[in-house]
Amino acid sequence: MDNVRRTAPLPGGRKLELVEGDITAEHVDAIVNAANQHLQHGGGVAGAIARAGGPQIQRESDQWVHQHGPVSHAEPAYTTGGQLPCRYVIHAVGPVWGQGDEDRKLEAAVRGALRRADELELRSIALPAISTGIFGFPKDRAARIIFSAIRAYFAENAAGTLQLVRVMLLDRPTLDVFLREWDSATRE
């Protein structure tokens, strides 16, 4: 069961939510996978999505890479949701901490996922704490960038179809960091 922990308005009557829950069980139009550039979904969020969605997601991911090449930070891939309750999985490539220019790459991944959802004419999307797991991005810094990128995207894209963005967090330590950053931003 999802537990909405925070809600904030976005421009155009849209909504941003911070949610404690399992992204693989989320009933939205699309979920975002924290992917690597070759869309090999072995561990972390990517592995969980691939296991829950079934082999179709990996097959479609392999097909995407074969047709388009490695996925960039700014231009995410997408597949169907397979056996997941969502229609699509948007595969956003977050940065690996220590490889340089991480803040810009994370912002590009978030904005790219939102743009792809608008291109697919979706109304709702859920994304994880991209790059904060095995890619090592500091959680507090990622939270600030993810929230800022979402707000900036909606401030600049009034005509899009997206109405709801959920940042989904499963583990308590990450949730606590994201809650602190959310609350800190609203006090400023």
Give the pLDDT of residue 187.
63
Given phi > 0 = left and psi -120 to 50 = alpha, else beta, which region is 132? alpha
Question: Residue 62's pLDDT is what?
Answer: 96
- The whole-angstrom distance between residue 35's C-alpha and the CA centroid of its chain comes to 10
Confirm if 164 and 29 have CB atoms less than 8 A apart: no
- E-strand stretches of the chain: 3-10, 14-20, 30-35, 77-80, 88-93, 124-127, 164-169
User: Can you tell me whether residue 36 is helix, strand or coil?
Assistant: coil
Indicate the pTM of the whole model. 0.95
Write the burial class of residue 55 (CB in 10 Å: 0-12 exposed, 13-18 middle, 19+ buried): exposed
Residue 23 burial (CB < 10 Å; 0-12/13-18/19+)?
A: buried
Domain spans of the chain, in order of start: 17-170
Predicted confidence at residue 178, as pLDDT, reads 96
pLDDT of residue 77: 97
pLDDT in single tens digits along all 188 residues of the chain: 579 999 999 988 999 999 999 999 999 999 999 999 999 998 888 899 999 999 999 999 999 999 999 999 999 999 999 999 999 999 999 999 999 999 999 999 999 999 999 999 999 999 999 999 989 999 999 999 999 999 999 999 988 999 999 999 999 999 999 999 999 877 65
CATH number for the domain formed by residue range(s) 17-170: 3.40.220.10
> What sign does the dihedral 95-44-2-112 (CA atoms) show?
positive
Q: How much is the CA Rg of the chain, to the nearest whole Å?
A: 15
